[in-house]
Structure 1
Amino acid sequence: MLIRRVGIIVVAATMSVLPVGAVQAEPEAHVPGTVVRDEALPEQLWVAGTATARRVTYWTRTSDHRSALSTGVVFIPAGIPPSGGWPVLSWEHGTVGLGDECAPSTAGRSERDLDYLATWMKQGYAVVATDYIGLGTPEPHAYLDGRAEAHAAIDMVRAARAVDDSLASKWMAIGQSQGGGGTVFTASLATAYAPELDYRGAVATGPASNVVEAVSLIGPGMPAIESAHLTAYITYVMVGLKAARPDFDIDSYLTSLGRQLTTAAATLCFPQLADRAKGVSVAQLFSRPLADGDFVATARPVLDVPLTGYDRPLFIGQGTNDTDVPAPLTAKLVIDLELHGVRPEVHVYPGKDHSGTMPASVPDSIPFVARRFT
C-alpha cells in the first residue's frame, strides 16, 4: 500500500517505528483523517467481491470538535480501477451496540449488511466503513450523535485515500438506521467539512430522525410497552447522550432499574442488550418524564438532524412497515427538510420493514448513485 498526502498529514514515518499493532498517542489538534494504524483485514471479514481490505485507525472529531480516534475498513473491489480511481461509498452502519467488541471491523457484519455492501461493490465502487468513535477506541460511543458519526464517516474517506492510492476523490455517503440518520448529517456537513474531497450525494434508508420528539413523550406514566428492542434502543439513546454531554445528569431521570440497564448497555451489543431488556417496559426505566428539566434542550443539538447545508442530492428510502424507525418520523423529516428548501428524492416501500427497505431500495438507489458519479 502506498501512503500519500491527500489534504491530510499521514504519519508514515511515525508508523514505521511503532511496534506492530501499536497506536501512537497524538496531540489534541491532530488533523482529521490522519492514519495511526494500518493493517490487513482478515479475509473472513471481507465483503464478497473484495480484492484487498485494510483496517485502519484514524483521527476524527467529536460533535464538539475534540480529537478522537475511530476505526474502520477499506474494501477495494476486484478488477482494474477506472481512470481517476475507484469512486468511493462511505458506509454508515446501523445499531450494533456500544461496547468495543461490537465494532463491525472486528466483530463482523450481518448477512443483511454483507449482501447490501456486496451489491455496491459489484457496481464498481470501493466501500469504506467507519466503526464510529468509541467502538474499539478509547472514547465512549455517543450513539446517534449525528455530527460525530458524520465526522467519522467523512474522515474515513480521508484515511482510506491515505492508505490506498487507487481511490478517487469523488465519494458518496450511504447508511441504514443509525447510519441512515448519520448519513443525513453527513449530507449536510460533507462539503464544508472536507472541501478537498469531491462529495457527490447520499443515500439514507430507514434514517433515525426526530428522536427528541419521540423520546420527549416518555416517562413513568406512559402505557407499558413491552418491546425488548424499543427498550434497548431507548437505553442506548440515554447512554449515547451521556457520552456526548457527560456533564448532563441523565441518571436523575432514571429508576434504579433504568440505571442498571444503562450501565449494562455501555458494554453490551444489541442482541445481548435486547435479551437483558426482555420483560422491561420503557416506562420502567424512568423516574420522571423526559419533557421535564433540561433534557430536551440538551438533546436537541446532539440528536436533531440539520435542516440546512445540503448542497448535493439526497436519497431517502423508507418502508411502511418499519417499526424501528416508523414511517411518520421519516415523513416529518422530509417535510421539515422541504420547508427549508431541501428537496430529497424520497422512495417509500409498501409492506417493507426496517431491514427489508435496504434490498427494496437498491433498484432505485443504484441509478441514483450512478448519476451522481457521471
Structure 2
Amino acid sequence: MKAKHLTQLLKASFLSCSMIATTLSMAQLPPAPQEKYGDGRVSEFYTWKSAIPAQPGKLLRTEAVHNPYIRLANDSQAIRILYSSTSGKDSKTPIVVSGSIHLPKGNPPKEGWPVVLWAHGTVGLADACAPSWSGRSYRDVQYLNRWLNEGFAVVATDYEGLGVAGPHLLINNPMLAYSILDSGRAALKTKLPLANKFVIVGQSQGGAGAVAASSYSATYAPDLNIKGSIGTGVIYKDPEATPEKNQLKLNPYEVSPSLAYGIYSFLVTQSLYPEIKTEEIFTPEAAPLVEQARNACLTSFMGDIQTAGLSPAQAYNPNPPTSYKKLQEKESNDYGYYPTLKISHPLFIGTGANDRTPDARSQMKLVADACKAGTVVEGHLYHGLGHSETVNASLKDSIPFAKKVIAGEKIQAICKPDLQ
C-alpha cells in the first residue's frame, strides 16, 4: 500500500515538474544584448532578467530619479519605469520597455493629474540614447516643462529597443503605438496621483507615434481613457502615394546632417532582414559612418556626418541590389501605415509651413485624410516655421486644445488650416 502511495506521489511530482518546465520554456525571456543594436552603456535598472509577463502594460520596476539633467525643472517628482509591452516586429512577442514619469508641482486634483503621454522624436538607435537615461534636447525640456506648468503629468516612453536590449525599429507604427499606450497602463499601476485621462502628444517620430497610438487605442488599449491626441511634424506615409514620394528628399550633392535618418533607417531594415550587407548599399567611404550609427545618438551623429563631408551621392552605392528596394517596400507596407484614420477622439496636427522633414504638404494630406475618415481634426499651419521650431510655437494652440478635451468640451474641426 505504501509502495503504491509512493508511486502516485512520484508520478504527481513528475507531472508537476513537467508542467513547470513547459511553462518556463514557453515564457518569453529578454533578448541577449548585441553590439550591432547598440545595446548596453546604461545602468542595471534597464536589464530585466526574469520572464516577461504576457500581459502588456504591467509595471515591472521603478526607481527615483534625482539627476537634474534627467529631471525637469517644473516637476515635483520623477521616476524611471520598466514595463511590459508588445513588440512592433510581430505584434505578439512580449517585450520590456523603459520610460519615465514626471509629476507637476502643487496639489493634484481629487481624481489625480491628467496625463500627457509624451512620444519623443528620433534620438538614435542605441540604448544609451533613451531619454530616460541620457536626457532631452533643450527644445523638449522647454516643451515638457510647459505641460507640467499647465497641470499635466508627463509619462514618457523610451520606445522598444531604447534603454532596454534589442533593436529599435524607428518609424514602426505598431511599435510606437504599443510602447506609448502601455506606458499609460503602467503609469496607472504606480501609486502616483494620476487620473485615467490621457492626451497623447508627440513630435516627428513621436508625432507619427501619437497618431499611431490613437489609431490603435480602441482595439489595443480600450481600458485607457484617451481624450485627445496632439502631433507636430508628423511623419505620414500616404497610402495613395508611391513609395518614392513617401521618402525623405535630400539634395544628393549637398552634405546634409539629415543623411543620419537614412543611415538609421538602413540599420533598422538590416535588423529585420539580416541578409542585407552594408557594402551593397553604401560606399566604402560611408561604411565607417554606418558602423558609427549603431552607437551614436542623433545630435552627435549629425555632427559626424558634417565632419565627414559626405553627400548622399558619395554615401550611397549608385547600384544597390533590386532586392533591397523590395525589402524596403515590404517593411513600409508591414509597419509604415496607420490601421485607420477614423479615430474616436479629437486630433490636433501642428505643421510648420517650412517643414521639409517631413514635407509640410504630407502633413496637410494627413489632416485632409483624417477629416475625410470622420475624425475631428484641428489643423494648424504655422507661417515661416520649420520642423523643430513648430514644437514650442504650437503650444499656444495645443494647450487650449488639451484642456478642452480633458474637460469634455467640443473641438471645432479645422480641416483646411490657413497660414497663421
TM-score tier, shorter chain, comes to 0.7 to 0.9
2:191 counterpart residue number: 164
2:244 counterpart residue number: 216
Offset at residue 24 of structure 1 (A): 4.1
Of residues 58, 63, 66 in structure 2, which corresponds to 1:42? 66
Q: How far apart, in 2, do the equivalents of 1:88 and 1:146 lie? A: 22
Of residues 297, 301, 316 in structure 2, which corresponds to 1:285? 316
Of residues 7, 19, 25 in structure 1, which corresponds to 2:49? 25
Q: Which amino acid aligns with 1:51?
A: S
Of residues 62, 65, 68 in structure 1, which corresponds to 2:87? 62
Specify the SS of the correspondent of 1:228. coil
Q: How far apart, in 2, do the equivalents of 1:362 and 1:214 lie? A: 33
- Over residues 281-324 of structure 1, what are the superposed CA-to-partner deviations in whole Å (9 max), with x where a residue is unaligned? 22332433879434213322212244434111110000012232
Q: How far apart, in 1, do the equivalents of 2:283 and 2:133 lie? A: 33
Of residues 367, 371, 384 in structure 2, which corresponds to 1:351? 384
2:328 counterpart residue number: 295
Offset at residue 342 of structure 1 (A): 3.4
Q: How far apart, in 1, do the equivalents of 2:401 and 2:109 lie? A: 19
The question of whether the paired residues in 2 share the 8 Å contact of 1:89 and 1:172 is answered with yes
Pair 1:113 & 2:118 matched? no
Of residues 251, 256, 266 in structure 2, which corresponds to 1:238? 266
Q: CA RMSD in A?
A: 2.6
Q: How far apart, in 1, do the equivalents of 2:262 and 2:238 lie? A: 10
- Over residues 191-217 of structure 1, what are the superposed CA-to-partner deviations in whole Å (9 max), with x where a residue is unaligned? 321111211110000112228968736
Q: How far apart, in 2, do the equivalents of 1:266 and 1:246 lie? A: 16
1:10 counterpart residue number: none
Q: Which amino acid aligns with 2:51?
A: P
The question of whether the paired residues in 1 share the 8 Å contact of 2:353 and 2:383 is answered with yes
Q: How far apart, in 2, do the equivalents of 1:248 and 1:338 lie? A: 41
Q: How far apart, in 1, do the equivalents of 2:220 and 2:255 lie? A: 38
Residues 263, 217 of structure 1: CA spacing in aligned structure 2 closer, same or farther, 3 A cutoff?
farther
TM-score by length of 2: 0.77
- Over residues 159-185 of structure 1, what are the superposed CA-to-partner deviations in whole Å (9 max), with x where a residue is unaligned? 112123411111110011111111111
Q: How far apart, in 2, do the equivalents of 1:342 and 1:225 lie? A: 41
2:152 counterpart residue number: 125
Q: Following superposition of structure 1 onto structure 2, how do residues 91-106 of structure 1 map, counting pairs within 5 Å?
A: 91-106=118-133
Specify the SS of the correspondent of 2:290. helix
1:361 counterpart residue number: 394
Residues 211, 141 of structure 1: CA spacing in aligned structure 2 closer, same or farther, 3 A cutoff?
farther
Offset at residue 68 of structure 1 (A): 1.4
Specify the SS of the correspondent of 1:229. coil
The structure number with the bigger radius of gyration is 2
Q: Which amino acid aligns with 1:72?
A: G
Specify the SS of the correspondent of 1:277. helix
User: Tell me, which stretches of 5 or more residues in structure 2 are unaligned?
Assistant: 1-43, 408-420
Of residues 258, 281, 289 in structure 2, which corresponds to 1:261? 289
Q: Following superposition of structure 1 onto structure 2, how do residues 130-209 of structure 1 map, counting pairs within 5 Å?
A: 130-209=157-236
The question of whether the paired residues in 2 share the 8 Å contact of 1:218 and 1:289 is answered with no
Specify the SS of the correspondent of 2:182. helix
The question of whether the paired residues in 1 share the 8 Å contact of 2:78 and 2:103 is answered with yes
Identity across the alignment (%): 33
Offset at residue 98 of structure 1 (A): 1.0
Of residues 364, 370, 375 in structure 2, which corresponds to 1:331? 364
The question of whether the paired residues in 1 share the 8 Å contact of 2:85 and 2:97 is answered with yes
Q: How far apart, in 2, do the equivalents of 1:346 and 1:223 lie? A: 29
Q: How far apart, in 2, do the equivalents of 1:215 and 1:239 lie? A: 19
TM-score by length of 1: 0.86
Residues 317, 179 of structure 1: CA spacing in aligned structure 2 closer, same or farther, 3 A cutoff?
same
Specify the SS of the correspondent of 2:260. helix
Q: How far apart, in 2, do the equivalents of 1:315 and 1:338 lie? A: 11
Offset at residue 34 of structure 1 (A): 1.5
Residues 137, 23 of structure 1: CA spacing in aligned structure 2 closer, same or farther, 3 A cutoff?
closer
Number of residue pairs the alignment of both structures matches? 352
Offset at residue 190 of structure 1 (A): 1.6
Specify the SS of the correspondent of 1:71. strand
Q: How far apart, in 2, do the equivalents of 1:313 and 1:158 lie? A: 21
Offset at residue 255 of structure 1 (A): 2.5
Q: How far apart, in 2, do the equivalents of 1:306 and 1:229 lie? A: 32
User: Tell me, which stretches of 5 or more residues in structure 1 are unaligned?
Assistant: 1-19
The question of whether the paired residues in 2 share the 8 Å contact of 1:181 and 1:305 is answered with no
